[in-house]
Structures are given as structure tokens and as C-alpha cells.
Structure 1
Amino acid sequence: MWFKHLHLYRVHDSDILPLEQQSDALAAHRFQPVGPHEARRHGWSAPAGRNSDLLVHEVQGHRLIRLAEQQRLLPSSVIKEELEERCAELEAKQGFPPRRRERQALKETLIEELLPQAFARTTVTELWWDTRSRLIGINCASAKRAESVLDALRQTLGSLKVTPLAVREPIARTMTHWLTDPSSRPDSLVIGDQIELRGNDDGIIRARAMDLDGDEIQTAIASGRQASRLAIQIEGVLGLTLQEDLVLKSLAFDDALLDEANDADDDGDPILRIDTDLALMAGALTSAVQQLIGWLGGEQDPAVATAV
């Protein structure tokens, strides 16, 4: 359940649905496996998996929900190969190659026939909703996936007004300043050993396991490049890769926090286990986001942000 990535959104709805109403809304769109002739289907599933039917976990105003999506895997190469064979058979039968419309009809028929035989792959994406701070965080690597989860939630709830979380100062400029002026770094910020630098020529320099205060990085910055990604650690909370669009990647929670989670007495109860993890994780994420917002000049006026 511990998040690996985080896309952040500010919630602008004046009222948050009570827990029971939100649970009922999700239940009306509960995940069901794809049918034999369906290519894709999504719905809400229990964060605790098979151990529970509970669709929403809430601890101290923090809610955890999960979107499941199942897709039948039908490789385009398989379709193409089978289609060519059928087109060849049709050509031999009628004496001329099938026209474009006939070929498309053959392809559609072929897909319908092959779908029931295709393997189904299920992916899940978790969403953390801090109802007190009016913040949503989605655990996924791509912005497209995050937006699809928001779309599903919006359809389920009837409406959902959110914008990507944004700050006042350009993040690339702030990260670069941290590197060129160590005295500007906040007390609890530790610079990591991974970086991505972009220049005006759109060229990208990526470095891993490198001293970012060393001459090589400083020379690249002096030539006009800025940090577009930077590995950092917030002491006592977590490590992460901060991107210039405020997406947080490669989250690594503090060992003391993980030890606390592992040592918690849940008596084998999966519900208590996930609620304990949620409380600890959400507390760390809230602290990290608040510190980052402060370090990056404060939150941008929501009126300036672009709605999703």
C-alpha cells in the first residue's frame, strides 16, 4: 500500500461527501471482471484485496480508495498475422484482394473471435484523499493514468473540481538554486545523488550516484542548465525525486516509519493492518507536501491553476 509515486491535486469542492455516501457511490461502480467479448473494464475495488469488501478506508480524515482496471491482451502482431492469412484466403476465393472496407470488417470479426481467448491483465491504482487539507494524491507514474483515475472518480461521484497542485516559484529554478547555493537549502533537506539537467537546446544530462555538489554538475549549471529532476530527502520523513512539475517519484519512506508500521500490533487483522499503514503513510505524505510547498514559495493561487 505504501505509495511509490505521487501526482498531487488540490480539491476545490466546498463540500466533501460523507464517508458512507462516498462508499455507496463507489459500490455502485464496483469492479467486475471483463466479459468474454470485452476489451477493457474498470471499477472500484477493495484496497485490502481479498481480505475485505470495504471500498473506502478512512483514518483521521485520510481516505484510501483503489481503482482496478482489467484489459484483455491481444497483441497487434497476432491480429496482423491472422488478418493477412484471412485476406489471402479471401483473395484466392474471389480472385482479387479484399477492398479496404472488407479488410476492416474482417479485422473487426477477427478481434471479436480472438478476445475470449486473450489473457486478461488487471492493474490497480490507489488514491489518497486528505479530506481535511483538501488534497488528493494518486499513486502512479504517468499523468495520463492519474487523470483517468480522476475521471473515473468524477463520474462515480457526479462531480469533482480539482486542479494540479502548483506552487508560486518555478521548481526548476529553486532546485538549481539549492545546488548552486548550499546555504539556501532548508534545514531538513538533504540533496541526493541523482539529477536531470535540461538546457536551452533541449539536451538532457542525467546523472546517478554522483556528488551533486561536485565540479561536473556545477559546470553544467554554469553553462545555463537547470535541474528538472532532483533526488532529495526530507529528514525523518521520506526520500523522493522531485520533478519540475511537482510530481513526486521514487518515494522511499523513512526506515523508522516502516519499522513502526512493522512493529504495530494488528493481531492478524487485515483491516487494522491497512488502517495502521494508512495513518503512518498519510502523516508522512502530509508532512512532506507541506514542507515542499513552503520550500517552493507557497501554493499558487488556485485561480491561476489549470483545471483537470
Structure 2
Amino acid sequence: MWFKQISFYPLNKNKLPDLETLAVKLAEAQFAPCSGLDWFSEGFSSPVSFSPESVFPADYTWRVTLKKEEKVLPAGVIRDILDERVAEIQNTEARNVGRKEKQELKEQITDDLLPRSFTRSSQTQAVFDIKHGYLFVNNASATKAENMLTKLREALGGLEAGLPHTKQSPGSLMTGWLLQGAAEGGFELDSDCELKGTGDVAPVVKVSKQDLTADEVVQHVKNGKTVTQLGLVWREQIAFVLTQDFTLKRIRYLDVLQEEAEGHGDDAASMAFASQILMTESLSTMLEELAGYLGGWQD
């Protein structure tokens, strides 16, 4: 259950619900399949396959899952049926079909087809770290991460969580590290970055699988570009790409963490329990160290 991309929110640790309350509230907001003329349905479901519970706790970490089901009704299907209806009216009634009538026909066709349409489902997972005070959402999309936060707030009647703000911006720190040719503390430069220039049509340079200390890479910064994404490795445990929006992408958990998780057992429950704790502890510790280089968290 290793999250591969992350948006995160600092939490007010003193105002978090207890585990029992969280489980009850999410069960009350449980997912139910689409019905009738509903285009989609969204609610919380079990985060693990081996338990029906709405929360999977592992020590001080609690995992939850938001499930969404959407009906799929291809526009081409509606258009073909609409064309047939319009042609039938024109032939049998010898008159043209106006725009307003076409729109009414389209809505009727959609309502007729919707109960018989296909559905597709998706899931977004999140983990509460109640020791360090973070909510990790397994998605780097701001829209999907904010949706998870919104649904949690609706289910719980409120949740004190905010966007991660630091005194120095991630972009400024990343640009400085690339310019000096090295990161600091437990961080090392990896082999990927993205730089952006200025102006109405700002140039973007993407560097992949390359030595980031090379002159041709550093020269981009000297020419006025700023770093918007930077590949980093933390303490030989986690490799990831940090973005200027403070999301983590393309996360890889290196062998030392994977092997430690496997040492706790090979059944699904043991692996899920161990990996959840190891992942969350590592991410929280890493973010605390990173925030230190960014001047600390701001309210």
C-alpha cells in the first residue's frame, strides 16, 4: 500500500476525532452504487480487501478510502439516437426540428439511457498520521486531494486541515540546491528536474536521467530559470520528485523500507500493517526535515 504520489495537509492534532468516531462517521457516509438517473455516486469504502471496516488502523496511522462510481454514456451514442429521432420526425411529420426541441429530445434520450449505461469506479486513499499531524492523500492532483478533504469534513462535521505553507517556497529552495550543485542534510539530488523561465510564454526545460550538477543544467538557473520540479533522494529510503506546489510525485520506496516491511510477515494483513506504518513514519519524518530547510511551517 505504498503511495506513489502525494498531496498532504498539516492537521490540528488536538482536534482530531478518535478512531471509533472516525469509523462510525465514515460508515454513515458509506459508498452506495449509482441508481436511477444519478450520474455518479461517492462515499467511503473499506480501504483493505481483507476487512469490511471503514478505517484500517495501524498504530498511530489510519487509512481510509473514498470510492466514486460514474456512469459512462458516450456522446456519440446519444448523438446517433438523436439524429434518428430527428430524421423520423422530419419524415413522418414533414417539418423541421428546431434547436429547443432537439435539446428536449436529447435530454429525454439521456434519461432513457442513463439507467442502462455502463459504470466505472475509482478510489482515492488517504492516511491520517495522528502522531505527527498530517493527512496524506494518494494523489498529486489538487482537485482530487481537495475532494477527499471536503468529503472527510462533510462526514466528520469538520476537520482542521490546511495547505502546507512554509516561510520559504519549495521553488526557491529547489532552485538554490540546483545552483549550488547539492542538496542539504539527508537529501541528495537525483537525476530529474524541470525548470521554467519568465514571460508571457515562459520556456520550460525538462531534464531526465541526467547529472543535475552538469554545467548545461546549472546554466539554466544562471540564465534566470527557476526550478519547478526536482528529483531528490532522502536518506537512501525514498526517491521522489518535489514540486513547487509542495506535492510529491513518482515516489519510490527503496529496498531498505521494502525489506523491513517484508520482515513483519508475508500475509496481506501483516504486510498492510507494516507498510502503512513505515511509509507514514518515513514521509512525516522526511517532511519535517524538509520543512526545516524551508524555514518551518506557517499557519
| Global fold match (TM > 0.5) | yes
Residue 85 of structure 2 corresponds to which residue in structure 1? Answer: 86
Q: 1:294 aligns with which of 289, 292, 295?
A: 292
C-alpha distance in 2, partners of 1:78/1:239? 45
Residue 166 of structure 2 corresponds to which residue in structure 1? Answer: 167
> 1:262, CA displacement in angstroms?
2.2
After superposition, give the CA deviation of every residue in 1:211-264 in whole Å (9 maximum; x if it has no partner): 211121122111100100011110232011000010111111121111121232
> 1:14, CA displacement in angstroms?
4.3
Q: Return the letter of the residue paired with 1:246.
A: F
When structure 1 is superposed on structure 2, of 166-175 and 90-99 the one drifting more is 90-99
Question: Do the aligned partners of 1:13 and 1:160 also contact (CA within 8 Å) in 2?
Answer: no
Q: TM-score, normalised by structure 2?
A: 0.93
Residue 278 of structure 1 corresponds to which residue in structure 2? Answer: 276
After superposition, give the CA deviation of every residue in 1:167-189 in whole Å (9 maximum; x if it has no partner): 11021121111111136x21321
Q: 4+ runs of 1 displaced by more than 4 Å? A: none
C-alpha distance in 2, partners of 1:204/1:260? 39
Residue 214 of structure 1 corresponds to which residue in structure 2? Answer: 214
C-alpha distance in 2, partners of 1:288/1:75? 45
C-alpha distance in 2, partners of 1:141/1:81? 38
Residue 51 of structure 2 corresponds to which residue in structure 1? Answer: 52
> 1:48, CA displacement in angstroms?
0.8
C-alpha distance in 2, partners of 1:209/1:88? 58
Residue 104 of structure 1 corresponds to which residue in structure 2? Answer: 103
Question: Do the aligned partners of 1:237 and 1:287 also contact (CA within 8 Å) in 2?
Answer: no
Question: Do the aligned partners of 2:194 and 2:204 also contact (CA within 8 Å) in 1?
Answer: yes
1:66 equivalenced with 2:65 (yes/no)? yes
C-alpha distance in 2, partners of 1:291/1:117? 52
Residue 190 of structure 2 corresponds to which residue in structure 1? Answer: 192
Secondary structure at the counterpart of residue 162 of structure 2: strand
C-alpha distance in 2, partners of 1:96/1:223? 67
Change (3 A) 1:258 1:97: farther
Q: Return the letter of the residue paired with 1:93.
A: T
After superposition, give the CA deviation of every residue in 1:80-104 in whole Å (9 maximum; x if it has no partner): 2322222222233333333333222
Change (3 A) 1:161 1:76: farther
Ranges in structure 1 where 5+ consecutive residues have no aligned partner: 303-308
Residue 3 of structure 2 corresponds to which residue in structure 1? Answer: 3
Secondary structure at the counterpart of residue 240 of structure 2: strand
The residue correspondences of 1:236-251 to structure 2 (distance < 5 A) are 236-251=236-251
Question: Do the aligned partners of 1:88 and 1:97 also contact (CA within 8 Å) in 2?
Answer: no
Residue 228 of structure 1 corresponds to which residue in structure 2? Answer: 228
Question: Do the aligned partners of 1:27 and 1:55 also contact (CA within 8 Å) in 2?
Answer: yes
C-alpha distance in 2, partners of 1:159/1:47? 21
Q: Return the letter of the residue paired with 2:225.
A: R
After superposition, give the CA deviation of every residue in 1:86-136 in whole Å (9 maximum; x if it has no partner): 222223333333333322221122112222332211111011111232211
Change (3 A) 1:186 1:13: closer
Aligned-CA RMSD value: 1.7
After superposition, give the CA deviation of every residue in 1:46-85 in whole Å (9 maximum; x if it has no partner): 1112x21111122232111010111111122322232222
Ranges in structure 2 where 5+ consecutive residues have no aligned partner: none
Residue 33 of structure 2 corresponds to which residue in structure 1? Answer: 33
Question: Do the aligned partners of 1:37 and 1:112 also contact (CA within 8 Å) in 2?
Answer: yes
Question: Do the aligned partners of 2:61 and 2:280 also contact (CA within 8 Å) in 1?
Answer: yes
Residue 151 of structure 2 corresponds to which residue in structure 1? Answer: 152
C-alpha distance in 2, partners of 1:271/1:25? 24
Give identity over the alignment, percent: 28
Q: How many residues align?
A: 297
> 1:13, CA displacement in angstroms?
7.2
Q: TM-score, normalised by structure 1?
A: 0.91
When structure 1 is superposed on structure 2, of 58-67 and 31-40 the one drifting more is 31-40
